[in-house]
A and B are shown apart, each in its own frame.
Chain A
Amino acid sequence: MKRFIVAIIVSLFMLPLATTALAGGGAGPPTDMLKGKFIEMNAAERTVVLQKDATEELQTLTLGAAMQPEDIRLNKKVLVSLDKHAGEGVIKEVSIMFMDMTPNKMISLLIVGLVGGLLSGFIGSGGAFVLTPAMMSLGAPGAVAVASNMCHKFPKAMIGTYKRWKYGQVDIKLALTMACTAIIGVQIGVQIQKYILNHWGNAGSNLYVSVVFVIILILVGGYVSYDARKLAKGGSATGNETPKLAQKMQKINLPPMMNFKVAKVRISAWVTIPVGLATGMLAATIAVGGFIGVPGMIYVIGASAVVASATELGIAFCMGAWGSIQWGLSGLIDIRLTLLILATSLIGVQLGALGTTYVKDYMIKVVMAATMMIVSISRGSKIPGYLADLGLRSPLDPQTANILNQVSFWSLVAALGTAGLIITVAMVKGISADRKSKRAEEALMHG
């Protein structure tokens, strides 16, 4: 326990050192956004007076061409997106910051939280890729959804890390090493995003994110699934053999060499750096760094799937805590959303963590591969729309666009559902087998 607390304090202390690093999910809070309340409107002149949050400063803004005076609600906290191309102080879009919380919305958040937590506890990451879209579809503005999700991620990862550390699965040194390099990776990722955003605008950025998502998920997910299938068919007795690439990497004797006791790996720091950088870059691009962090730790560094997924939780804690502070400084966290997801995800993450003690190592790879492959469908179905936005293909008719959007959302739900189901079945089987063997022992004892 003492070592764990020291590690938490050290990682929290290290976070402010990376002053410009942004959240582990996306390019940080947007800058062309204002937050406050509308206190006055002149419908004839199409102007509104916004009282800015915190400073209470008043600013007069003009409604953009697509906006109607009816879209403006006075005395409600709003997020105002500005259209910088249309001139100074022109409103592009207004979204109410706090959606009305109905029982249906609460139940949806609780369910998604539970399955997201289960996945997180089991494979070390996940949940984020479906939680943000889910919150947005319930009516939260994008920035608020990202911020609230981030703020639920780090306490969940902290509890998950603690549990799995107690089971002896977390390599704290590996987690801190990876987190340090990942924070630098996030910065590189953010710079690339900014470059693309400046040159090709929002549509270009969306296209880039989706293409990266699909390519990485199919390549990595495909390999993980091939490997898992090989192990499931009895390629090895334990499923714990070090992959060939990792064996080669471990032979590179380039100082400084690092010893990771829990992962049982001695490897050059120069090998861990690219893996951490890639994790951070992916986190900044598609918000789920774990999709490269976990396979990277397994296939490049040579940790077992159990240790890799547990260590990823530690990395998620560091990056999530830093991200939450960044988004919190912009005042975008809706604590109600955060806590509703947390209510069930804290149960899910512990359930997922204890589940790993009952299953064979390859089950973690199976769940991961399945999730990655289905999520890639979700992102892939967005690509035609973005290509059309960039004028690289003819515009989509509304019906096709709608179908593609539905496919995208429901495949995310399917990914979460499938993963939840595989984990539950594997866990129930493992627990009942364990209980049977214990009962047999007891029967022998007394018989």
Chain B
Amino acid sequence: MTMTNFDKTMSAAAFAEAGEHKTAKEMLGAETKQPHPAGHGAKSKPYLSTLVYGAISLTAYVYLFKNEQLITTTFTKGGAYTWYPVGTAFFFSFIHGAFASNLLSVFGLEAKK
């Protein structure tokens, strides 16, 4: 039978109440070590990468909208020019996607382990 987090916590609580602090800590130890390798503290948040990716992304957006006339005209010429919009979409998805991912981590929104 596999034990859920809740089961483990409750069993540990039962041991702790019975004065078996060591067993309780051992039960929780395996569980808590993995998500928090640094010990108590949450792992450091990616402030720097958020800032860097955010800055690149913002610069790219500003550049694009400053030159929207030229860009929209060139990007819609069709044929081989297809790679312009498709490539740009790829570029933004990597840069802006990385920014978004880091931003969510900064806000403390991580997937459940």
Query: Is A335 a contact partner of B75 (Cβ separation < 8 A)?
Result: yes
Query: Does A441 contact B109, Cβ atoms closer than 8 Å?
Result: no
Q: Which of A66-74, A172-180, A207-215, A345-353 contacts B (4 or more CB under 8 A)?
A: A345-353
Residue A325 at the B interface, CB < 8 A?
yes
Other-chain residue from B73, B76, B110 in contact with A333 (beta carbon distance below 8 A): B76
Given A351-B109, A444-B9, residue A331 in contact with residue B76 (CB < 8 A) = yes
B65 within 8 Å of A by Cβ? yes
**A101 to B79 Cα, complex, angstroms:** 26
Q: How far is the CA of A185 from the CA of B61 in the complex (A)?
A: 37
- Which chain B residue lies CB-closest to A157? B93
Quote the shortest CB–CB distance from B113 to chain A (angstroms): 8
Interface residues of B in 74-112 (CB under 8 A from A): 75-79, 81-86, 88-90, 92-93, 96-97, 100-101, 103-104, 109-112
Tell me if B93 and A354 are in contact (CB < 8 A).
no
Chain A, Cβ-Cβ closest to B73 = A77
CB-contact partner of A336 in B65, B83, B86, B103, under 8 A: B65
Taken together as a complex, chains A and B put the C-alpha atoms of A81 and B72 apart, in Å, by: 20
Alpha-carbon distance A431/B111, docked complex (angstroms): 9
Beta-carbon contact of B76 and A156 below 8 Å: no
CB distance A350 to B89 under 8 Å?
A: no
Q: CB-nearest residue of chain A relative to B85? A: A333
Q: Which of A45-63 contact B (CB under 8 A)?
A: 53-54
Q: Which of A147-155, A189-197, A300-308, A406-414 contacts B (4 or more CB under 8 A)?
A: A147-155
- The CA of A53 and the CA of B5, in the complex, are separated in Å by 62
Check if A445 sits within 8 Å of B32, measured CB to CB.
yes
Q: Are B112 and A357 in contact (CB under 8 A)?
A: yes
Chain A: residues with Cβ within 8 Å of the partner, total of 51
A142 within 8 A of B: no
Which residues of chain A come closer than 8 Å to B40, judged between CB atoms?
Answer: 442
Residues A133-170 near B (CB distance < 8 A): 151-152, 154-156, 158-159, 163, 166-167
Say whether B79 contacts A54, CB under 8 Å.
yes
Proximity string of chain B (42-84) to chain A, C-beta cutoff 8 Å, 1 when within and 0 when not? 0000000000000000000100110010011101111101111
In the complex, per-residue mask of A271-290: 1 if CB is within 8 Å of any chain B CB, else 0 = 00000000000000000000
Q: Which of B24, B31, B88, B103 contacts A339 (CB 8 A)?
A: B88
B28 adjacent to A339 (CB under 8 Å):
no
Q: Which of B32, B83, B97 contacts A441 (CB 8 A)?
A: B32
Given A155-B92, A343-B96, A447-B16, are A335 and B79 neighbors across the interface (CB < 8 Å)? Answer: no
A120 within 8 A of B: no
Contact, CB under 8 Å: B93 / A159: yes
Contacts A325-B82, A329-B82, A339-B89 known; A358 to B112 CB distance under 8 Å?
Answer: yes
Q: How far, in angstroms, from A442 to B9 measured CA to CA in the complex?
A: 10
A309 to chain B: closest CB distance in Å? 15
Residues of B within 8 A of A158 (CB): 93
Q: With a CB–CB cut-off of 8 A, which chain B residues contact A321?
A: 86
B12 A335 Cβ-Cβ under 8 A: no
Taking the nearest CB of chain B, how far is it from the CB of A166, in angstroms? 8
A443 to chain B, nearest CB (A): 10
Known A-B contacts A159-B93, A330-B78, A346-B93; the reply to A441 vs B9 at CB < 8 A is yes
Knowing A35-B76, A351-B104, A434-B112 touch, does A338 contact B68 (C-beta < 8 A)? no
Contacts of B73 in A (CB 8 A): 77
Interface string of A420-441 (1 = CB under 8 A from B): 0000000000110010010011
Flag whether A334 is at the interface (Cβ < 8 A): yes
CB-contact partner of A325 in B28, B86, B104, under 8 A: B86
A373 interface residue per 8 A CB criterion: no
> Which residues of chain A are within 8 angstroms of B71 by Cβ–Cβ distance?
335-336
Listed by A's residue number, 17 A-B pairs whose Cβ atoms lie within 8 Å are A77-B72, A152-B89, A155-B89, A159-B93, A328-B86, A332-B76, A335-B88, A342-B89, A346-B100, A354-B111, A430-B112, A434-B112, A437-B6, A441-B31, A441-B32, A444-B12, A445-B25
Interface of B toward A, CB cutoff 8 Å: 5-6, 9, 12-13, 16, 24-25, 28, 31-32, 40, 61, 64-65, 68, 71-73, 75-79, 81-86, 88-90, 92-93, 96-97, 100-101, 103-104, 109-112
